[in-house]
Amino acid sequence: MSEALTAAAPVVAVAVPVHRRGWRQKVAPWLMLAPSLALMLYAFVLPMLTFFEYSFYTFRRGKLIEEFSLTTYRRFLFDAYYQTIVLDTLWMAALTTVLALAIGYPLAYALWRLERPWMKRWLSLIIFSPIIVSVVVRSYGWIVLLADQGPVNWALKGLGLTNGPVSLVFNLTGVVLSLAHVFLPFVVFPIYSSMTRIDPALREAAMDLGAGWARTFRSVTLPLTLPGVVAAVQIAFTLALGAFVTPAMLGGGRVLVLPLQVYNATSDINWPVAAVGGLVLLVIAILVVALCNRLLKYSEA
Amino acid sequence: MRTLGSGIRLRYLALWTFTILGIIFILAPLAIVVVNSFSSVAYNVFPPEGLSTRWYENLAGQAAFYTGAWRSLVLAALATLGSLVIGTMAAYALVRYRLPMPNLVKAFMLSPIVMPKIVLGVALFMFFVRIGTLGGYSSLLLTHMLVVLPFVISLVSAALFSFDWTLQEAAMDLGAGPLETFCRVIFPEISVSMVVAGVFAFVTSFDQVETTLFLVRPGDNTLPIEMFLYLQKWQDPTIAALSTVLILFAVAIIGGLSLVLRNQKLPLELSGAGKETSA
């Protein structure tokens, strides 16, 4: 930015409107970007570099050793304990994504097929409004809902489906249910938006040619909404990978995923392990994003 | 037109059943919090054994929640205002000017979104410890601004993208200065998106746990962190009472927002349209 300023400075003296315009065109956008770029540098780039730096240090016998080494990486990648954490994280994210899709796709479909505008408005309001309720509140709601003497167990017992209480919370089940709830709006949105882009003539043509609803859905609607589904998977999976509050509150100590490991290591002042764990998480997230982008390009072509 | 097949009624029934089940799934965890806040006992039991307002009385005596709420409100307001100002400037530059490698610049500006929040929080903690600004208010504020900035940039630049720029040129040709043109010509057109971005930024900042957890001094907690830490120790319905207040707060925001957007298209359709034009 400063180079652009100094390089452009002599032009000001010329004071010809056309030239000034050219100068402005070059410098003005950088001046407008400057506050955001400065913020990004201070609160994003530099912290991430620090984080990266700590991943090359080691922590031994309660002391941080500030010397370059790959020991922490080696320990993390080859230790069965950490491998289990990585696999559990992926498994939890996968289950959450599948559940969120199973609920989100039909809801997006319903939102799309509803004919009266006021119904559309209300349904979209109901789907999207939980975004503005704190994740802490929503996770707490699921704790109450799924408790041993909570409404879900009460209903299961009342319906005669179970005898004793089913453990739904403080384990993986509770975490996955709650996460699917938290991410549902982010799943419905891209799918719904891909549905609105379908040309209605295509469905009508399929129906006119005698295809039933199921056939029309299978060969028109579903393929055309696949980009939306891929986008939904991308969002849900990456958000689930990084989820911290919900596994911390509903996991009951039984669901140890990478974000919790990063938190625990930071609390135990073992910063190198926290940094390596965080970077592993980041690499997985980037891989998922890249893979989905590939799929998106492929499915849109 | 659709032919009236025999299965159509059944399909509508299935669709409706599913929609209603979906609505129950979405609203149940919020509804149960409200029910539980009036419970007379400290443990979670359904149906409630009795009704009382004792948890609201208990909540009224918890000063930590008041100070936390006030801190969160001020912090979210400042972060929203700050990010709206610098984010709109950045969005303007991204849409209106020809930058070298525009996609790279834009991708960089939006990249904090994909960062797992806990990674960002821990990285900021390590960085602020190193430079000695941990616990300072400015560190906290800049962190919150960074978290919400990408949302502001993407929403505002989507609106600027669909703005008719001949209007701006006309205003400039008629002698309006750049600032006057922005305030009187461009701003009215993108104000809806800015309101949506502002509300989203406020709510996101208000709800930060992971990024803020390590940055606040003990005793200076924001509201969600105070609640998070409280729930690690106790699980009585005081939190339900507080959550009910927060849900009412959310309903008020939604109500206010739908008043503002009464005659506008829904934001989801708005950004969907933005996506279409850019594709």
How does DSSP classify residue B62? -
Does residue A48 sit in the same domain as residue A80?
no
Q: How confident is the model at residue B183 (pLDDT cuts 50, 70, 90)?
A: confident
Q: How confident is the model at residue B50 (pLDDT cuts 50, 70, 90)?
A: confident
Does residue A263 sit in the same domain as residue A200?
yes
Does residue A273 sit in the same domain as residue A142?
yes
Residue A19 located in a structural domain: yes
Residue from the list B8, B124, B275 with its beta carbon closest to the beta carbon of A43: B124
Residue whose pair of structure tokens reads 């560190």 in the numeric block: B139
Distance from C-alpha of A256 to C-alpha of A248, rounded to nearest angstrom:
9
Pairing of the two strands A58-60 and A63-65: antiparallel
> How many domains would you assign to chain A?
2
* Cβ atoms of residues B76 and B144 within 8 Å: yes
Which value, to the nearest 10 degrees, does the dihedral of the CA atoms of residues A275, A100, A172, B223 take? 60
Window 37-56 of B, Cβ < 8 Å to A: 43-47
The confidence score (pLDDT) of residue B263 equals: 64
- The answer on pLDDT for A212 being more than 60 is yes
Does residue A90 sit in the same domain as residue A213?
yes
Does residue A28 sit in the same domain as residue A93?
no
CB pairs under 8 A between A and B: 254
- Residues B256-264 have a mean pLDDT of 75
pLDDT digits (tens, 9 = 90+) for B189-212: 888 889 989 999 999 999 999 999
CB atoms within 10 A of CB B115: 24
Residue A164 located in a structural domain: yes
Please report, for residues A110, A149, A151, A184, the alpha-carbon distance to residue A168 in angstroms, rounded to integers and kept in the order given. Answer: 28, 11, 11, 20
CA angle, corner A251, sides to B228 and B23, nearest 5? 80
- The answer on pLDDT for A16 being more than 60 is no
pLDDT digits (tens, 9 = 90+) for A17-27: 444 567 777 88
pLDDT digits (tens, 9 = 90+) for A54-85: 999 999 888 888 889 999 999 899 999 999 99
Residue whose pair of structure tokens reads 């004792």 in the numeric block: B54
Residue A59 located in a structural domain: no
Does residue A114 sit in the same domain as residue A238?
yes
Does residue A6 sit in the same domain as residue A92?
no
Distance from C-alpha of A193 to C-alpha of A275, rounded to nearest angstrom:
37
Distance from C-alpha of B258 to C-alpha of B250, rounded to nearest angstrom:
12
Residue from the list B11, B46, B240 with its beta carbon closest to the beta carbon of A154: B46
Q: Give yes or no for B141 touching A (CB within 8 A).
A: no
Distance from C-alpha of A211 to C-alpha of B146, rounded to nearest angstrom:
51
Structure tokens at A10: 């002599």
- The answer on pLDDT for B69 being more than 70 is yes
pLDDT digits (tens, 9 = 90+) for B150-159: 999 999 999 9
Residue from the list B43, B93, B246 with its beta carbon closest to the beta carbon of A33: B93
Residues of chain A in contact with residue B231, where contact means CB-CB under 8 angstroms, are 136, 140, 249
pLDDT digits (tens, 9 = 90+) for A132-190: 899 999 999 999 999 988 899 988 988 888 888 888 989 999 999 999 999 999 999 99
Complex ipTM: 0.86
Q: Is A262 close to B119, i.e. CB distance below 8 A?
A: yes
Q: Is B123 close to A106, i.e. CB distance below 8 A?
A: no
Q: How confident is the model at residue B149 (pLDDT cuts 50, 70, 90)?
A: very high
Strands of A133-234, DSSP E: none
Structure tokens at A84: 């289990």
**Could you list the residue range(s) of the whole structural domain that residue A290 is in?**
71-300
Residues of chain B in contact with residue A46, where contact means CB-CB under 8 angstroms, are 127
Which neighbouring-strand residues pair with A58?
A65
Q: How confident is the model at residue A2 (pLDDT cuts 50, 70, 90)?
A: very low
CA A259, chain centre distance (Å): 13
Residue range B62-278, CATH number: 1.10.3720.10
Does residue A189 sit in the same domain as residue A47?
no
Distance from C-alpha of A140 to C-alpha of B83, rounded to nearest angstrom:
30
Residue A84 located in a structural domain: yes
* Cβ atoms of residues B123 and A47 within 8 Å: yes
Does residue A218 sit in the same domain as residue A253?
yes
Structure tokens at B152: 């502001």
The full length of chain B comes to: 279
Q: Which residues does A157 contact at the CB level (< 8 Å), separation at least 6?
A: A163, A165
Residue of A259 and B188 predicted with greater confidence: A259
Which value, to the nearest 10 degrees, does the dihedral of the CA atoms of residues A114, A117, A121, A124 take? 20
Does residue A16 sit in the same domain as residue A137?
no
- For residue A190, the domain's CATH number is 1.10.3720.10
Does residue A150 sit in the same domain as residue A207?
yes
Window 89-128 of A, Cβ < 8 Å to B: 103, 106-107, 109-110, 113, 121, 123-128
The confidence score (pLDDT) of residue B272 equals: 37
CA angle, corner B207, sides to B201 and A120, nearest 5? 65
Q: How confident is the model at residue A3 (pLDDT cuts 50, 70, 90)?
A: very low
Amino acid B7 reads G
Residues of chain A in contact with residue B254, where contact means CB-CB under 8 angstroms, are 125, 129, 132
- The answer on pLDDT for B222 being more than 50 is yes
Does residue A49 sit in the same domain as residue A81?
no
Residues of chain A in contact with residue B48, where contact means CB-CB under 8 angstroms, are none
Distance to chain A for B161, nearest Cα, Å: 16
